[in-house]
Amino acid sequence: MDIWIIATLFAAAVQTMRFMLQKQVKAAGLSTGGATVSRFLFAVPLAALAAVALAQMYAEPWPGFTPIFWIYAAVGGLGQIIGTYCTVTLFSLRNFAVGIAFTKTETVQVALFSLIFLGEAVTGMGLLAIVVGLAGVILISLKPAGTEGGVGSRAVALGLLGGAMFGISAIGYRGATLEVGDGNYLFRAALTLSMVTLLQSVAMSVWLRLREPGELTKVLRSWRSTLPVGVTGMLGSFGWFTAFTLQNAAYVRALGQVELIFGFMVTVLVFRERLSAREIGGGILLGLSVAMLVLFL
């Protein structure tokens, strides 16, 4: 099995755990902004340590950063902040698995962004897998009786915005890892991740200081519950960045839809929420999409 596939599966599994922890952190009293910044703040030193350790392990020189690298990193980091903010907000509108599902419209958007900004096109089989996965997402996201839904609903708007932001984030991260150089792929991924999480932590800290005075202090005081969010966030991002270093972002994000299947498991086993037959059918389509990507790419 290709390394990028293993890295993506690992990232999707760890990210599902991180979203679960963020939902619990938000329920414990932190605002959406507080739950979001916990994703980045504690990841900075961990990512930096990983980059230094890998540089020593593989005798990698510390590269210089081009202006293009910082543009890609900043755009990717901002996209992830907004996408994460939308996802955490969605948790209060729909169940856990469906909240994640709305963001998965990113796969088609990533394929388009990859072609426009990076000149990386997808194959016919890759596009078919993406479409099958998108069909599963649409099936899952249809309005259930008694809940907020419809084309103009807040949940749909947040989901589409979150998906677009995660799509832009994927392109930014893929572009940034390509700008680092041609050294060891694990080092390139860790180095890019450390720079991005630093930018994100500074931006979110300033934002919370201005818009939600006291919330950052609350996050730091709640480190026992927020630290696991940072750890899982760093590990998941390291998996994503490793995959982006090795493969077209569209394929990585399409395979990453397996996260939704992991989300179903969390929904049923952890949060004790029921899944409808429609959601299960959508999950089967997503599973088919994942199988196509693993077997034919």
**pTM to 2 decimals?**
0.81
Neighbours of 6 (CB within 10 A): 13
| DSSP label at residue 121 | P
Backbone phi, psi, residue 150, to 5°: 90, 160
The mean per-residue pLDDT over the stretch 42-53 comes to 91
Residues with Cβ within 8 Å of residue 272, at least 6 apart in sequence? none
In this predicted structure, the answer to whether residue 152 has a pLDDT above a threshold of 50 is no
Question: In this predicted structure, what is the pLDDT of residue 127?
Answer: 87
Is the model's pLDDT at 171 over the cut of 70? yes
What's the chain's average pLDDT? 83
How far is Cα 89 from Cα 93, in angstroms, rounded to an integer? 7
- DSSP state at residue 115: I
Confidence of residue 149 (pLDDT cuts 50, 70, 90): very low
**pLDDT tens digits for range 200-216:** 999 989 988 898 998 88
Res 254: pLDDT: 84
- The end-to-end CA distance of the chain, in Å, is 11
* Tens-place pLDDT, residues 60-108: 988 889 999 999 999 999 998 898 788 777 766 655 555 556 676 777 8
User: pLDDT value at position 150?
Assistant: 47
Token pair listed for 292: 């196509």
Between 30 and 5, the higher pLDDT residue: 5
* pLDDT higher than threshold 60 for residue 167: yes
For residues 261 and 13, is the Cβ–Cβ distance under 8 A?
A: no
Please classify residue 272 by burial: count the beta carbons closer than 10 Å to its beta carbon, then call 0-12 exposed, 13-18 middle and 19+ buried. Answer: exposed
* pLDDT value for 6: 94
The HSE-up count of residue 81 (CA atoms within 13 Å, CB side) is: 24
Q: Which residue has the tokens 């450390």?
A: 194
Buried b (16+ CB within 10 A) or exposed e, 177-205: bbbbbebbbbbbbbbbbbbbbbbbbebbe
Q: What pLDDT is stored for residue 141 in this prediction?
A: 66
Q: How many whole angstroms separate alpha carbon 230 and alpha carbon 42? A: 5
| pLDDT above 60 for 16 | yes
**Rounded-to-integer distance, Cα 156 and Cα 141, Å:** 8
- Token pair belonging to 87: 């996802």
Nearest in space to 250 (alpha carbons), one of 132, 124, 165, 126: 126
Q: How far is CA 8 from the centre of its chain?
A: 11
Q: Note the pLDDT tens digit of each residue in 232-280.
A: 888 988 999 999 999 999 899 888 878 778 877 777 877 677 778 887 8
Which pair of tokens denotes residue 197?
Answer: 């999480």
Pick the more confident residue, 253 or 138.
Answer: 253
**Residues constituting the chain:** 297
